[in-house]
A and B are shown apart, each in its own frame.
Chain A
Amino acid sequence: MAFPEPRPTKPELPRKSVRSLPCRQGAVRAVRFNVDGRYCLTCGSDKSLCLWSPLRGTLLRTYGGHGAEVLDAAGSFDNSRLCSGGSDRAVLFWDVASGQILRKFRGHAAKVNCVQFNEEATVIVSGSIDSSVRCWDCRSRRPDPVQILDEAKDGISSIKLSDHEILAGSVDGRSRRYDLRMGELYADYVGSPITCVCFSKDGQCTLISSLDSSLRLLDKDTGELLGEYTGHKNHKYKLDCCLSERDTHVVSASEDGNVYFWDLVEGTLALTLPVSRGVVQSLAFHPTEPCLLTASEGSVHCWREESFVAEDELPA
């Protein structure tokens, strides 16, 4: 005897700014949730990397060690390690608790745009403007990368990892998906420099944002276009895009200071969230809840759904 499934509730979009993090890091180049969404990392252009509790707005720790601005960071699955990459061409491997640099991977010829851990945090995959993706081993003391994926013809702007895939978006207009299990490489051409790539939560689609002010949702297996999302402005900058927590909406930052939400299936613009006057550079969507972090002009805002009530309402 099965109970009828509860009617699926309409997904709520984060519309309410509940908190803004006083970063004071210069421009915040990237904001990233940790694996369970309880913490977030902000990468500042003042070479610092900060760990926050975004809902409380408390700064937990500052990690200093980069020689130039930090461009991307990621946390390991067990929250014990961090990795970050920056303009100093180094990929750093941090211990969260002690704040010490465990490893410093050098080898990129230019600034490192993006870093990711693999599922077990044994490999750091970094993409750089030198058009190479490098896989660094965290287990051994090996100074050189395990493998260099230099198929891209131009800088790597974004990298995402699944359990057996490496998805790398490049400025040469291709997103390359390296399937380790199959031993194959799939390159999808979108014609315009890619700024951000994402896997959908179900692992069936890839979301690709490019500099022609459009986002495309491609089928992972065939490369067919499932949806195209336009309306925002993205011509110059490397902006982030993401999918909402239940893959219902496509979210993208924009150069006009708004964050755009599209319905994933219908492709219609669902919400335009004014965030700031400047460019919204980075986005991070909570893995399970309708919670969005935006980084623009050196400040990070935390957005929740309308019905959200914080435990302790404090003026942000």
Chain B
Amino acid sequence: MAARGSDSEDDLVTYGTGLEPLEEGERPKKPLPIQDQTVRDEKGRYKRFHGAFSGGFSAGYFNTVGSKEGWTPSTFISSRQNRAEKAVLGPEDFMDEEDLSEFGIAPKAIVTTDDFASKTKDRIREKARQLAAAAAPIPGATVLDDLIAPAKLSIGFELLRKMGWKEGQGVGPRVKRKPRRQKPVPGVKIYGCALPPNGSEGSEEDDDDYLPDNVTFAPKDITPVDFTPKDNVHGLAYRGLDPQKALFGISGEHFNLFSDVSEGTSNLLGSIRPNKGRRLGISGQAFGVGALEEEDDDIYATEALSKYDTILKDEEPGDGLYGWTAPKQYKSRTGSEKDTQYVGKILDGFSLASKPLSSKEIYPPPELPKDYRPVHYFRPVVTATSENSHLCQALSESTGKILSDMSKQSRYQLNASKRGEMLGETPIQDSTTSILEFLSQKDKERINEMKRATEIKAAEIKGKALVPKAWNSRFQPDSPDDSPYTQQMVLSGDVTAGRSSDFRPFAKDPEKQKRYEKYLGNIKKGQKDALESCLDPRMTEWERGRERDEFVRAAVLYRPSSSSLSSRFTHAKQEDDTDQVEVPRDQENDVNDKLSAVKMKMFGKLTRDKFEWHPEKLLCKRFNIPDPYPASTIVGLPKVKHDKYSVFNFLTIAEPTTLTTTQVSNERAQQNHSRNKPRKPSRWDIPDQEQKKEDCISEFLSMARSKAEIQKQQLRPLVNNAEGSAVESSSAKVENESVDQKNEEDSRPSMDLFKAIFASSSDEKSSSSEEDESENEDNQADPGGSDPASPKPSDLVETSSDIQVSALVVNEPVPPVTLQKMQLDEREEFGPRLPPVFCPNARQKHEPVPQSSFLEGHPKEKPKKSKEKRKTKKDHKHKKEKKRKHKKHKQKGKQKNKKTEKSSSSESVDSSDSQSDSEVKDISPQELLRRYGILLYSADIEMEPAGRMDSRP
């Protein structure tokens, strides 16, 4: 605003009232302090606002009865000056002035009351009313007003009057004079005021004795006076604690005093009747009263007649106990017949039980034998296995006596099946399972040996034949010693391992058992319709339902025990034998079949594999799809055992390198695939594509071609071996180019060439060249011996130093094409590659940004492995990259052009825009050489190598 200046003043919008301009010399007014900002009423008294919830404005002097000087009662008058004049205080003396005003609670102004207000006084209004009635839509509506006049008397009075009641009389039927009532027994206490139901004799008595029979009198309108002296120490109006009220919150008015006395007993604590539909809980004052607080009066309590005692004498409890706590006196009304049958004495306050008590039988304690010693020695329980058989032996020896005794008695040696046998039950046929059956033959023999040894020993030492017998009986493999426990064990074994020998709850019905096993298997797999799918569809609905129940029950019954047992064991982390490593079900081994199917274009079942696959639960949730296997814990493909992925896997595969044909190596490569972990990136396309595209003839051709090229290569110096040399002989370069182009013209011979030559050695290397040195040694040995296109032995010398180099060195004598390819593949990744970068736009617009960014991006693209590789042979790389560039020239005419512009060379125009791939091939060696020279100075600009996707060995 200030920046705007004065010209924007008219735009200003002002809010509120401005302060008055100060006069000169005047000091600005002090703002009123907060304590002075008060609200006062018309008399200048403070009206202090409390807030809506604390009562509005304050009363009195800061909510006190005092004044500024303190609390001075208004009755105080100094006795010096004038004596107190007013002694009697009316209510008005305690009221505020506002209360006496027109709208206060006691207005002082004189108003005509309704009683004296004449109805016809307001004639004008009456007239208006009549007019309005005539004009009203409903004529005569005012009739209703006339009819309905405000009642001056309550309806109760009116009713009583109609019934003949007169003022001054009591309420009730007319009575004859009765003989005077007896005073209540002094022992009977009446608490509260009791209205006599029929009349008002009580204390008022007539003096006349004679009364005619036919004369009745209205009851007297009196309030009864209780003359009962208070002779206890309770407070006035004391009532004993009402248990219902105290415990259940039932208000006391429901305490039915008028009910039958015998029923009254049931009102005591013993028989609260909650079935009457009363709400239990807190009632009356909210949330009760604290222990330290005094209970307020129940201002909402309604007076009810039922609250009062109405009976004075007879039926009152006369036991002299006060309050409810005394049980009502036993009244022999309802249970009279029972009482008569009861011969014994009934105490006061008790009644006969309706149900007789079931008497407890008491048995005498057993008599102890004479030689009983009240001390018990626990013997350790040792389950006999082959390991602790010695311990068992020792134990059995120590307890030999007892054991023999026991075996004599043979009671403790019995198990369920033996007992069943003794009882004549037919043993279960199927369950022949015992632990010993799971032992291998060797172990069995060992146990038998052990057994025999113990037998002998025992026989020798103790001379008691019974001990080994007992032993025997425990470990006899063929004895029907199949306690449920072993069965459980078996079950657990089957659940975890899926063995065939398992607990068979439906062994009698093999079909059913089969279905049950299927069901278990389904459950394990987590299928939703595990139950439904395994039931026999031929069965009736009812049978199926029953079987369903049975299966579920059986599965539930035997799961916990098995799991508890299996929790003692852990799964083996690895398979014991590597030979049985399960190949993932995505079978690679029949890839040849599939390939042939693809060749015959027989897509469908032959090329399709279907697997059960378990998605992660969260993934299902995110995809808004119900989990297909809600109970399963598997994620991914089930039953795919991840094989051990180790160096040795590769070693074993790479060892047989004598095979030379590509077919064989292909097959091996596929085996490689199948054994490798799926995660490992591997050669992916060579075998397939080659098999598809090339026949053996073409391979032979390529082999022959490669041989020819090798010979050619051998003529020229091995430029590629020169390490660290930045400049190479130009002739070699030219030759490289020409060879390269030649290869380009052939559709794709270089790959086959490479394959043909290095099938055996380099094929495996692609997958494992990083890891193992031993393989390299293999390779070193191989090329000399078995490779048809054997490299020169002299090259092998280099390999000893560096592992990584060795792989290349093997390839050194190859035509440079393959060498280049290899180098390309170092930085190339697996899979179809991306096309090389052309930047026509960048060139036209002279925008070097993409190029520079390529430089940055370049090293990052390489996968780790190739990086490692590169590290080991940096020198090679330098050179090779240059070569690679050569290879790219065809596709990079534009980039090159740019470079040439930069380097201010003039003659690259012809190769710039009009160049197509085919044209590039016709470039003369000189041209290429020139380009190479240019490129020497440029950095590595290549985004993507243009090598073949499948050229990775």
Q: Give chain B nearest CB distance to A161 CB in angstroms.
A: 9
**Cross-chain contact of A193 among B591, B689, B835 (Cβ < 8 A):** B689
Alpha-carbon distance A190/B595, docked complex (angstroms): 8
Indicate if the CB atoms of B831 and A154 lie closer than 8 Å.
yes
Alpha-carbon distance A154/B681, docked complex (angstroms): 5
Q: Give chain A nearest CB distance to B625 CB in angstroms.
A: 5
Alpha-carbon distance A228/B943, docked complex (angstroms): 33
B interface footprint on A168-212 (CB within 8 Å = 1, 0 otherwise): 000111100011111111111111110100000000000000011
A54 at interface by CB-CB < 8 Å: no
Question: Given that A151-B586, A185-B610, A298-B842 are known contacts, is A238 also in contact with B834, CB under 8 Å in the complex?
Answer: yes
Question: Given that A238-B833, A255-B835, A298-B840 are known contacts, is A191 also in contact with B688, CB under 8 Å in the complex?
Answer: yes
Q: Give chain B nearest CB distance to A57 CB in angstroms.
A: 13
A273 at interface by CB-CB < 8 Å: no
Question: Given that A25-B850, A46-B849, A187-B611 are known contacts, is A163 also in contact with B623, CB under 8 Å in the complex?
Answer: yes
Q: Give chain B nearest CB distance to A23 CB in angstroms.
A: 7
Indicate if the CB atoms of A88 and B850 lie closer than 8 Å.
no
Q: Give chain A nearest CB distance to B246 CB in angstroms.
A: 56
Alpha-carbon distance A314/B613, docked complex (angstroms): 53
Alpha-carbon distance A191/B834, docked complex (angstroms): 21
**Cross-chain contact of A27 among B611, B618, B637, B837 (Cβ < 8 A):** B837
Indicate if the CB atoms of B584 and A225 lie closer than 8 Å.
no
Q: Give chain A nearest CB distance to B939 CB in angstroms.
A: 15
Residues of B within 8 A of A47 (CB): 853, 857
Residues of B within 8 A of A183 (CB): 612-615, 627-629
Residues of A within 8 A of B831 (CB): 113, 129, 154-155, 157, 171, 193, 238
Alpha-carbon distance A71/B833, docked complex (angstroms): 11
Alpha-carbon distance A154/B842, docked complex (angstroms): 35
Q: Give chain A nearest CB distance to B533 CB in angstroms.
A: 14
Chain A residues 260-291 with CB under 8 Å of chain B are: 277-279, 281
B622 at interface by CB-CB < 8 Å: yes
Indicate if the CB atoms of B692 and A212 lie closer than 8 Å.
yes
Alpha-carbon distance A110/B834, docked complex (angstroms): 15
Alpha-carbon distance A152/B680, docked complex (angstroms): 9
Indicate if the CB atoms of B850 and A118 lie closer than 8 Å.
no
Indicate if the CB atoms of B619 and A298 lie closer than 8 Å.
no
Q: Give chain B nearest CB distance to A41 CB in angstroms.
A: 17
Q: Label chain A's interface by main secondary structure.
A: loop
Indicate if the CB atoms of A131 and B680 lie closer than 8 Å.
yes
Q: Label chain B's interface by main secondary structure.
A: loop
Indicate if the CB atoms of B628 and A222 lie closer than 8 Å.
no
Question: Given that A45-B850, A155-B829 are known contacts, is A298 also in contact with B837, CB under 8 Å in the complex?
Answer: yes
A294 at interface by CB-CB < 8 Å: no
**Cross-chain contact of B611 among A171, A185, A192 (Cβ < 8 A):** A185
Residues of A within 8 A of B833 (CB): 236-238
**Cross-chain contact of A298 among B599, B692, B839 (Cβ < 8 A):** B839
Q: Give chain A nearest CB distance to B653 CB in angstroms.
A: 15
Alpha-carbon distance A190/B603, docked complex (angstroms): 8
A252 at interface by CB-CB < 8 Å: no
Residues of A within 8 A of B546 (CB): none
A102 at interface by CB-CB < 8 Å: no
Q: Give chain A nearest CB distance to B443 CB in angstroms.
A: 40
B948 at interface by CB-CB < 8 Å: yes
B748 at interface by CB-CB < 8 Å: yes
Residues of A within 8 A of B837 (CB): 26-27, 45, 297-298
Alpha-carbon distance A193/B686, docked complex (angstroms): 10
Alpha-carbon distance A29/B591, docked complex (angstroms): 32
Indicate if the CB atoms of B835 and A130 lie closer than 8 Å.
no
Alpha-carbon distance A110/B948, docked complex (angstroms): 19
Alpha-carbon distance A187/B603, docked complex (angstroms): 12
A310 at interface by CB-CB < 8 Å: no
Indicate if the CB atoms of B588 and A153 lie closer than 8 Å.
yes
Residues of A within 8 A of B604 (CB): 219, 222-225
Indicate if the CB atoms of B622 and A137 lie closer than 8 Å.
yes
A interface footprint on B818-851 (CB within 8 Å = 1, 0 otherwise): 0000000000011111111111111001010110
A120 at interface by CB-CB < 8 Å: yes
Residues of A within 8 A of B607 (CB): 188-190, 223
Alpha-carbon distance A22/B599, docked complex (angstroms): 43
Residues of A within 8 A of B601 (CB): 225, 228
Indicate if the CB atoms of B684 and A224 lie closer than 8 Å.
no
Indicate if the CB atoms of B860 and A131 lie closer than 8 Å.
no
Alpha-carbon distance A90/B693, docked complex (angstroms): 36
Known A-B contacts: A27-B836, A191-B688, A255-B835. Give 6 more (CB < 8 A).
A45-B943, A123-B623, A147-B618, A189-B609, A212-B693, A236-B949
A-B contact pairs, 14 of them (CB 8 A): A26-B943, A27-B835, A47-B853, A68-B857, A123-B619, A131-B679, A153-B586, A153-B676, A171-B830, A187-B586, A187-B609, A187-B611, A237-B835, A296-B835
